[in-house]
């Protein structure tokens, strides 16, 4: 059995089935998985960090070896602080690879003990992204096959908050 702690970081704005699938598969591979919800004070996100944390905790609550934490600053610094040896990322399309490759090599320079492991998406989630989901939802489209009910409810609440 592996003794690794892995970090799966992201904005998760909001979490969708593609993210959940990666977290579930990573939780089977690594002994302990920390899902890091990136708190980006400088960037305008649709959901607050608190809401993104609550949604992620709720959708992953059945996985006993998974913890969900918020973090800010450098991802490698957070990885070091939780003694993670592995950084988990998901790959959808070739354009993801270019970015992930660049990030992995940069992180290698900053923290050589940390290895990046990329898991391939499932084909049914290959075109799923948080930004696409928000766009579809904003114009009244059905996102029921892309996000769990709790996320759909959060999208509706946030939209009515923005429109009031
Ligand atoms: P970012 O880390 O750029 O803020 P996200 O929060 O959307 O992006 O995603 C976090 C991680 O999940 C990234 O590694 C991303 O490639 C991966 N991911 C996003 N969507 C999918 C998907 N549909 N299938 C597999 N992995 C995905």
CATH value at residue 16: 3.40.50.620
Distance of alpha carbon 47 from alpha carbon 24, whole angstroms: 23
Residue 98, in any domain of the structure: yes
Residue 122, in any domain of the structure: yes
* Mean predicted confidence (pLDDT) in 16-32: 98
Distance of alpha carbon 48 from alpha carbon 30, whole angstroms: 29
Residue 87, in any domain of the structure: yes
Residue 22, in any domain of the structure: yes
Residue 80, in any domain of the structure: yes
48: containing domain: 5-127
* Mean predicted confidence (pLDDT) in 141-163: 96
Closest CA relative to residue 35, chosen from 46, 21, 92, 154: 21
Locate 155 and state its tokens.
């999208």
Cα-to-chain-centroid distance, residue 15: 6
Instruction: Report CA(10)–ligand 1 centroid distance (Å).
Output: 7
Distance of alpha carbon 12 from alpha carbon 58, whole angstroms: 13
Residue 116, in any domain of the structure: yes
Residue 150, in any domain of the structure: no
- Which residues on neighbouring strands pair with residue 87, listed in sequence order? 7, 116
Query: Residue 25: its pLDDT value, please?
Result: 98
Query: Residue 3: its pLDDT value, please?
Result: 63
Catalytic residue among 43, 123, 145, 163: 43
Domain count across the chain: 1
Which tens digits make up the pLDDT trace of 70-128?
A: 999 999 999 999 999 999 999 998 888 999 999 999 999 999 999 999 999 999 999 99
Residue 121, in any domain of the structure: yes
Residues with CB under 6 A from ligand 1: 10-12, 18-19, 22, 89-90, 92, 96, 121, 125, 128-130
Query: Residue 153: its pLDDT value, please?
Result: 97
Which tens digits make up the pLDDT trace of 32-42?
A: 999 999 998 66
Instruction: Report CA(91)–ligand 1 centroid distance (Å).
Output: 7
């Amino acid at each position: 059995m592996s003794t690794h702690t892995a970090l799966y970081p992201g904005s998760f704005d909001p979490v969708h089935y593609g993210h959940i699938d990666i977290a579930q598969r990573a939780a089977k591979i690594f002994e302990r998985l920390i899902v890091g919800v990136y708190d980006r004070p400088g960037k305008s996100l649709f959901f607050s960090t608190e809401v993104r944390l609550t949604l992620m905790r709720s959708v992953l609550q059945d996985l006993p070896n998974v913890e969900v934490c918020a973090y800010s600053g450098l991802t490698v610094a957070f990885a070091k602080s939780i003694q993670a040896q592995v950084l988990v990322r998901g790959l959808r399309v070739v354009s993801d690879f270019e970015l992930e490759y660049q990030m992995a090599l940069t992180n290698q320079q900053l923290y050589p003990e940390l290895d990046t492991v990329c898991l391939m998406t499932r084909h049914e989630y290959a075109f799923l992204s948080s930004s696409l989901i928000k766009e579809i939802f904003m114009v009244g489209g059905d996102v029921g096959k892309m996000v769990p009910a709790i996320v759909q409810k959060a999208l509706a609440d946030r939209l009515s908050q923005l429109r009031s």
